[in-house]
Copies of this chain bind each other. A is one copy, B any other.
Amino acid sequence: MSVTAPRGFRAAGVTAGLKPSGRPDLALVVNDGPEHVAAGVFTSNRVVAAPVLWSRAAVGDGVAHAVVLNSGGANACTGPEGFADAHRTAEHVAAALAVSAGDVLVCSTGLIGERLDLPALLAGVDAAAAALAPDGGPAAATAIMTTDTVPKEVLVERGAWRVGGMAKGAGMLAPGLATMLCVLTTDAVVTAEDADAALRAATAVTFDRVDSDGCMSTNDTVVLLASGASGARVGAAELTEALTEACAALARALVADAEGASHDIAVTVRGATSEAAAVAVARAVTRSNLFKAAVFGNDPNWGRVLSAVGTVPVDVAPFDADAVDVAINGVLVCRAGGVGEDRALVDLAVAREVRVDVDLHAGDAAATVWTNDLTHDYVHENSAYST
């Protein structure tokens, strides 16, 4: 149930002193091989943190030996000095592990616009390298938490081989990617090409479909390390399936732990002319502050769903507004763009999970996007906490 569950990996999580709270803030994940295949996907924000610039380049050759991750500072908007800090971090890890700096990936999360305390971070790297253990996954998962209330880990078993994973992320969750750091490991024998294709396919339908607050981060990173230690050769399709299962579980865990949320909301759009159209309509609903505030108040306000659906341009999603059905938790509150069942039949207070089903009656495609309700606690956490 962690990044060290597959064979060939060690990990550690330590306290470097980057967080004022004194909680663990530095994680190291090492691939002991025999293979060192790696792939990564990164934020599509044009403002990217220094560690993203570094790691995007470093993973370009499909090889990595280790990932170092810190919470307590994003190293974003820190200029050339921030990039030098990321580089020095990689060099330091490389020296400790006797590998090349170009094979060390770096991830950071925390406040934007401040330099990292590099001496503290490098001392933390030394402590983490000394603490590396085949059962160190849970400690690593704990060290990457920021406003997360629980560590997020996953294990997908495939008989001869496994996929393990850990993720952090509780706010600034938006598509491309949902903002977060995630490390996936596998002991399958895979090619770098297959690893890259499978990781992109898996994240596109999982992390990319979580939109907690519509805010895209500068630091999003999902990394896959493959050790080949199981000896089991796996193709792209098989790997994609396992990675998708792992990413879906982690994405669901991110939603469940989103800052201040009291409801998780799954918006499923059916009857669209294309999957892209379904995603666009679902995203319009997941971005509606009015609807999300209504869900917080346990108000099945389908008018706010419909008015969000109506903002999607016709060239993006062709449909007839007078044909749209909306069901909330299975009750068809809006039929053909008008009043349906009594909204009083919907009880949102009964469960954390809310299901919104929109049928456009325009085609056969469907997609689901996850979000959270908009709560007092979201406002509180994001006005009081500088991230």
Contacts and interface: CB of A to CB of B under 8 A. Distances in A.
B310 A46 contact: yes
Given A287-B214, A306-B77, A386-B294, A339 B113 contact: yes
A286 B362 CA distance: 33
A298 B354 CA distance: 33
Contacts of A338: 77-79, 82, 113
Interface in A184-236: 213-218
A289 interface: yes
Task: Classify the interface of chain A: helix, strand, loop or mixed.
Answer: loop
B289 A47 contact: no
A61 B171 CA distance: 51
A144 interface: no
Interface string A347-385: 000000000000000000000000000111011101110
A299 interface: yes
Contact of A297 (B214, B287, B310, B384): B384
A74 B307 CA distance: 12
Contact of A290 (B111, B215, B336): B215
Given A294-B383, A307-B112, A312 B76 contact: no
A304 B112 contact: yes
Interface residues of A, number: 64
Interface string A68-107: 0000001011110010000000000000000000000000
A174 B288 CA distance: 11
Nearest to A80: B338
Given A47-B307, A47-B310, A47-B321, A213 B290 contact: yes
Contacts of A248: none
Residue among A47, A214, A288, A378 having the largest count of chain B Cβ atoms under 10 Å: A47
A293 B377 CA distance: 11
A329 interface: no
Interface in A139-157: none
A287 B111 CA distance: 20
Given A112-B303, A288-B215, A386-B301, A47 B337 contact: yes
A19 B293 CA distance: 22
Given A113-B334, A339-B78, A375 B386 contact: no
Interface in A322-337: 322, 324, 334, 336-337
A289 B215 contact: yes
B311 A216 contact: yes
A367 to B, nearest CB: 19
Contact of A383 (B216, B293, B303, B384): B293
A297 B381 CA distance: 10
Nearest to A214: B289
Interface string A253-290: 00000000000000000000000000000000001111
Interface of A: 45-48, 74, 76-79, 82, 111-115, 171-172, 213-218, 287-290, 293-294, 296-297, 299, 301-304, 306-312, 314, 321-322, 324, 334, 336-339, 343, 374-376, 378-380, 382-384, 386-387
9 contacts: A46-B321, A47-B307, A77-B302, A115-B339, A213-B289, A213-B290, A215-B288, A216-B310, A293-B379
The 7 A-B pairs with the shortest beta carbon distances in the complex, nearest first, are A112-B303, A297-B383, A47-B310, A79-B338, A293-B382, A46-B310, A45-B310
